């Protein structure tokens, strides 16, 4: 081999060696890049190929009444989901049939999609089993939560409902959504080499259930109030109605109902306008139910006293260019007579004498014209005209409940002030809440004087006699308010029938405000709303352990007990809230006959107390779930 050939061969070897060294160097650089510089990124890509992540909703907290009865709870239900890119197209038809949907709809949900998708949410267990029996790759059963409200329409407006995404949309479910909502969990699902999901999985973060709410509401009282209101609205062919029941000693709301109701378990069947809680959203002119507070303001002024007398102008009095009328022509009336006879003229004279500023201050102090801060969204503050608009005519009208607007809750709250010796407590719906010190807004002696007048108003001399249950005393006031039209003019066809009061009058345990909108058979609060008060009180008071006074009415008397049967104890008079089994045990123990309607828990009974029954007598109960 010549020197020239040897040199050429040497250079070729050097070139190949150089290329090999360069290749090895590039491989080393690439290895460094992959193993160190891109390590985290590549690990993440690998994990994404091996795992798929999806969110798992947590159950909402439950809602309970004051006795621990469930008012709303989350129930586990199956849903069908899929990893969209794993479902074979040849299985679309049979999968759609099992899901009870069209093939085109299923294709729309799966086509050009990757990862987790919902196919059918909150299905029946039978449907879920039918889908899983097909063994379609990528299709899986997931756990979801459906909200259930056991009392249905009875608590619909107050409790509200939850949407498909698990968020509260109305009522307490909406107002306390942040409290009730749990923390969603995150779950990882492993995949095989072909990208198909493997059974099981691991939790990245387990779901945490929401917190429970314990309400001041009593489910039995809620049922009683709902039934009494529904019966009255139907009988009167009224447009609607509302009832608020409160404990005046601490401001606890024991019941809040509206009619017509709606079922939150199937809220989609109703119009949005039917969802609102009219007890806090709708305002009305309170009419004569405002007169007790005009009376309190007059007594507080020092210019009037309980034994003062007012000349009621024989039924007509002119204020500026406006004439005020009374339904019945009255001459001189004392303070109690003014309330009992419900004189507009008498109330107007008191207000004009003490002045608009003093009356407005008392109305504001008892809770009118501002939100009660109950904690429910959508609450109206009501309407009290600003000070500059209180002329003589406006002052006279407001004195007997015209030109001012209140909610049923505000009316009940104001009557709680009178029932609680002039002390104002902020109303509450949560059992475990910060309770503020009551404020003395009306002197105790004046509040007691007004309550005595209200008790007289429910006697035979007053307009509220139909509110008094046998064996009890009631202090309350009727109201019949004309409804203004869109132009502010009062018509003669549309009225609000109202009654608000407390029982027993000497030691109030209940304050009940009843509002019936546009009754057709009678327009008067004493004929329409007062009987609703009576039906609620005569059932709730024995339930609370407040038994009738056997000397209060002639029909109440002690019964002789036959030999061989135990005597019925005084505290056994109320059956409200008992189950069917408990009712039968009571009947068997005391030798009583029963007539039972419905199932669930007792919300109504007849007689109101069985304490006066003797063995062999019968009683009747109505139950509702």
Question: Tokens 């985290």 appear where?
Answer: 40
Alpha helix positions (H), 408-500: 408-419, 444-457
Q: Do 513 and 578 belong to one domain?
A: no
pLDDT at 335 over 60: yes
pLDDT at 413 over 70: yes
Q: Do 258 and 407 belong to one domain?
A: yes
Q: Is 301 a catalytic residue?
A: no
DSSP class of residue 1 equals -
pLDDT at 199 over 80: no
β-pairing, 510-517 vs 309-311, is: unpaired
| Maximum distance among all Cα pairs of the chain, rounded to whole angstroms | 150
**What are the φ/ψ torsions at residue 145 (nearest 5 degrees)?**
-130, 130
Task: Give the per-residue pLDDT at 230.
Answer: 93
Instruction: Tell me the pTM.
Output: 0.78
How would DSSP label each residue in 380-410? ---B---GGG--HHHHHHHHTT-S-BB-HHH
Tokens of 34: 């992959």
Is residue 549 situated within a structural domain?
Answer: no
Question: Tokens 């074979």 appear where?
Answer: 88
Q: Do 312 and 339 belong to one domain?
A: yes
Tokens of 625: 């779930």
Q: Do 82 and 33 belong to one domain?
A: no
Q: Do 285 and 162 belong to one domain?
A: no
Residue 554: pLDDT band with limits 50, 70, 90: very low
Indicate the Cα dihedral angle 350, 356, 362, 367, nearest 10°: 120
Q: What is the mean pLDDT of the chain?
A: 85
Q: Please tell me the distance from the alpha carbon of residue 390 to that of residue 356, in angstroms, as a whole number.
A: 6
Q: What is the pLDDT averaged over residues 8-28?
A: 79
Q: What is the pLDDT averaged over residues 423-428?
A: 94
Q: Please tell me the distance from the alpha carbon of residue 565 to that of residue 547, in angstroms, as a whole number.
A: 22
Q: What is the pLDDT averaged over residues 576-598?
A: 78
Residue 42: pLDDT band with limits 50, 70, 90: low
DSSP class of residue 562 equals P
Tokens of 368: 């009118």
Share of the chain above pLDDT 90, in %: 49
Q: What is the pLDDT averaged over residues 71-99?
A: 86
Q: Which of 223, 288, 342, 609 is catalytic?
A: 288
Q: Do 206 and 226 belong to one domain?
A: no
Which residue segment(s) compose the domain that 24 sits in? 3-37
Q: Do 397 and 454 belong to one domain?
A: yes
Q: Do 463 and 323 belong to one domain?
A: yes
Residue 46: pLDDT band with limits 50, 70, 90: low
Residue 163: pLDDT band with limits 50, 70, 90: confident
pLDDT at 571 over 60: no
Is residue 554 situated within a structural domain?
Answer: no
Domains contained in the chain, number: 4
Lowest-confidence pick of 25-34, 56-65, 366-375, 616-625? 25-34
CATH of the domain at 382: 3.40.710.10
Q: Do 87 and 74 belong to one domain?
A: yes
Task: Give the per-residue pLDDT at 106.
Answer: 86
Q: Please tell me the distance from the alpha carbon of residue 79 to that of residue 59, in angstroms, as a whole number.
A: 14
318, 362 Cβ separation under 8 angstroms: no
Q: Do 127 and 252 belong to one domain?
A: no
Q: Do 515 and 581 belong to one domain?
A: no
Q: Please tell me the distance from the alpha carbon of residue 59 to that of residue 75, in angstroms, as a whole number.
A: 8
> Residue 217 belongs to what H/E stretch?
none
pLDDT at 296 over 70: yes
Q: What is the pLDDT averaged over residues 486-510?
A: 87
pLDDT at 485 over 50: yes
Start-to-end Cα distance in the chain:
111
Residue 243 or 146, more confident: 243
Is residue 73 situated within a structural domain?
Answer: yes
Tokens of 476: 């309350």
Q: What is the pLDDT averaged over residues 430-445?
A: 93
Q: Please tell me the distance from the alpha carbon of residue 561 to that of residue 592, in angstroms, as a whole number.
A: 12
> Residue 574 belongs to what H/E stretch?
none
Is residue 124 situated within a structural domain?
Answer: yes
Task: Give the per-residue pLDDT at 357.
Answer: 95
Signed CA dihedral, 507, 513, 514, 518: sign only: positive
Q: Given 214, 232, 265, which residue is the final one in a domain?
A: 214
Is residue 43 situated within a structural domain?
Answer: no
Indicate the Cα dihedral angle 416, 419, 423, 424, nearest 10°: 0
Task: Give the per-residue pLDDT at 488.
Answer: 66
Indicate the Cα dihedral angle 43, 44, 47, 48, nearest 10°: -150
Q: Do 170 and 66 belong to one domain?
A: yes
Q: How many CA atoms lie within 13 A of 56 on its CB side?
A: 21
Q: Please tell me the distance from the alpha carbon of residue 500 to that of residue 514, in angstroms, as a whole number.
A: 6
Residue 569: pLDDT band with limits 50, 70, 90: very low
Kindly calculate the radius of gyration of the chain based on its CA atoms and give it in whole angstroms: 36
Is residue 552 situated within a structural domain?
Answer: no
Q: Please tell me the distance from the alpha carbon of residue 536 to that of residue 224, in angstroms, as a whole number.
A: 6
Q: Please tell me the distance from the alpha carbon of residue 250 to that of residue 511, in angstroms, as a whole number.
A: 11
Residue 549: pLDDT band with limits 50, 70, 90: confident
Task: Give the per-residue pLDDT at 561.
Answer: 34
pLDDT at 40 over 80: no
Residue 565: pLDDT band with limits 50, 70, 90: very low
Q: Given 508, 543, 578, which residue is the final one in a domain?
A: 543
Tokens of 328: 């019945």
Q: Please tell me the distance from the alpha carbon of residue 302 to that of residue 534, in angstroms, as a whole number.
A: 35
Choose from 124-128, 290-294, 600-604 the range with maximum mean pLDDT.
Answer: 290-294
pLDDT at 563 over 50: no
């Amino acid at each position: 081999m010549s020197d020239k050939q040897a040199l050429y061969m040497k250079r070729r070897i050097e070139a190949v060696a150089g290329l090999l060294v360069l290749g090895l160097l590039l491989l080393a650089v690439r290895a460094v890049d992959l193993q160190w510089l891109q390590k985290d990124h590549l690990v993440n890509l690998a994990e994404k190929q091996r795992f798929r992540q999806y969110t798992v909703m947590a159950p909402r907290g439950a809602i309970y009444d004051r006795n621990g009865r469930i008012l709303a709870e989350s129930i586990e239900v199956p849903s069908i989901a899929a990893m969209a890119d794993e479902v074979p197209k040849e299985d679309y038809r049979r999968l759609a049939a099992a899901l009870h949907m069209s093939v085109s709809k299923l294709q729309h949900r799966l086509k050009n999609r990757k990862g987790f998708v919902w196919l059918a949410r909150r299905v029946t267990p039978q449907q879920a089993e039918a889908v899983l029996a097909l063994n379609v790759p990528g299709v899986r059963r997931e756990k979801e939560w459906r909200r259930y409200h056991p009392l249905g329409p009875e608590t619909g407006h107050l409790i509200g409902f939850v949407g498909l995404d698990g968020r509260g949309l109305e009522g307490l479910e909406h107002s306390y959504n942040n409290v009730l909502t749990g923390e969603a969990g995150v779950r990882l699902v492993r995949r095989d080499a072909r990208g198909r999901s493997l059974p099981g999985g691991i939790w990245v973060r387990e779901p945490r259930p929401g917190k429970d709410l314990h309400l001041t509401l009593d489910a039995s009282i809620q049922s009683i109030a709902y039934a009494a209101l529904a019966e009255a609205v139907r009988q009167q062919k009224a447009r609607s109605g509302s009832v608020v029941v409160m404990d005046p000693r601490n401001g606890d709301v024991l019941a809040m109902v509206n009619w017509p109701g709606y079922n939150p378990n199937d809220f989609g069947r109703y119009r949005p306008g039917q969802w609102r809680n009219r007890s806090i959203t709708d305002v009305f002119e309170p009419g004569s139910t405002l007169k007790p507070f005009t009376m309190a303001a007059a007594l507080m002024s020092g210019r009037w006293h309980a034994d003062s007398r007012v000349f009621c102008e024989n039924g007509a009095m002119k204020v500026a260019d406006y004439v005020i009328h009374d339904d019945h022509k009255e001459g001189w009336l004392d303070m109690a007579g003014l309330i009992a006879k419900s004189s507009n003229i008498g109330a107007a004279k008191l207000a004009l004498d003490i002045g608009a500023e003093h009356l407005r201050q008392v109305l504001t102090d008892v809770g009118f014209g501002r939100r009660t801060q109950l904690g429910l969204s959508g609450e109206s503050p009501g309407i009290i005209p600003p000070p500059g608009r209180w002329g003589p005519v406006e002052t006279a009208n407001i004195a007997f409940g015209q030109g001012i607007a209140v909610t049923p809750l505000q009316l009940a709250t104001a009557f709680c002030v009178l029932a609680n010796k002039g002390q104002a407590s902020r109303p509450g719906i949560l059992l475990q809440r910060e309770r503020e010190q009551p404020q003395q807004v009306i002197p105790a002696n004046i509040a007691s004087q007004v309550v005595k007048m209200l008790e007289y108003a429910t006697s035979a001399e007053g307009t509220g006699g139909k509110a008094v249950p046998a064996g009890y005393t009631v202090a309350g006031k009727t109201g019949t308010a004309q409804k203004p039209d869109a132009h502010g003019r009062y018509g003669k066809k549309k009225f609000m029938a109202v009654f608000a009061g407390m029982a027993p009058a000497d030691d109030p345990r209940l304050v009940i405000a009843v509002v019936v909108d546009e009754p057709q058979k009678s327009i008067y609060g004493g004929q329409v709303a007062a009987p609703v008060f009576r039906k609620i009180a005569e059932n709730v008071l024995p339930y609370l352990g407040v038994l009738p006074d056997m000397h209060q009415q002639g029909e109440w008397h002690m019964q002789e007990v036959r030999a061989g049967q135990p005597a019925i104890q005084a505290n056994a008079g109320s059956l409200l809230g008992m189950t069917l089994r408990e009712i039968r045990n009571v009947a068997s123990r005391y030798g009583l006959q029963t007539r039972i309607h419905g199932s669930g828990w007792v919300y109504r009974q007849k007689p109101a107390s069985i304490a006066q029954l003797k063995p062999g007598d019968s009683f009747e109960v109505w139950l509702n779930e």
